Amino acid sequence: MKISLLGKKALVGGSSGGIGKAIAEQLAASGASVTLMARNENKLKTVVAGLATSEGQLHQYLVVDFSDLEGYKKRISTYFESNSVDILVNNTQGPPAGNALEKKVEDYQDAFDLLFKTVVHTTELALANMVKNQWGRIINVASVSVKEPLSYLALSNSIRASLVTWAKSLATDVGAEQITVNSILTGYFDTERIAQLNTKKAAQLGISPNDVLTDMKSKVPLKRIGDPKEYGYLVAFLASDKAAYISGTQIPIDGGLLKSL
């Protein structure tokens, strides 16, 4: 099966590294023109320069800070004044780690702005062109923790659960316009974010980060953590016509980590 996204335009959040970068690379390899979004302009330039390019493709980047809601809204609104997208991948950096006892109500508000309000605002802007064309793909990067909460990620557990239920509602509302909405429940992947979380957890437990990683792998039935490229393959499929009848789902990509149905 060949995935072709020729003629499609994609906007990918958090794409200067990790999972977002892998998604952007696979969408570009499948023929889409990709706009990257992240905070670090130097990293964005490097990623854009490395994206596969053939005739008709035009890649670009947008420097944004998802943690500055008002600044982000202005930046992304300006972008959509002269651009449109067919494929929207909602992905931001994760909020600070910590358990429920460590977090205050202000922390939840900040996480809500970061993980939920930026996504809803961007999606509202992207939908206009999708409705006009009677075709669109909205793909949300979420977490397995919405089904089985991780004690050290209280903010992510809470707000990403809201994101996934919102996405389910949206899928119903835009289905008649041939727009699909799906959420991906992310397991353990080889990213800088995982490395940072493991370092913090190791310090708390008085063990090495490598010991934390070994324990993490042991809990996954496939006995390894994921390669971000594997994530990109799933997103490219969901973005394609091959997945036109898949909507309103929450798809785990976790090597079998989730124990619940």
Under the phi-then-psi rule, with left for phi > 0, alpha for psi from -120 to 50, and beta for the rest, what region is 190? beta
- Cα–Cα distance for residue pair 123/112, rounded to 1 Å: 15
Q: Which residues contact 17 (CB under 8 A, 6 or more apart)?
A: 38, 43, 47, 191, 192
Residue 32: which of 18, 12, 46 has the closest Cα?
12
Buried b / exposed e over 88-121, threshold 16 CB at 10 Å, is bbbbbbbbebbeeeebeeeebebbbbbbbbbbee
Which member of 72, 108, 152, 188 is catalytic? 152
- 152 catalytic residue (yes or no): yes
Number of CB atoms found within 10 A of residue 78's CB? 11
For the annotated catalytic residues, the residue numbers are: 152
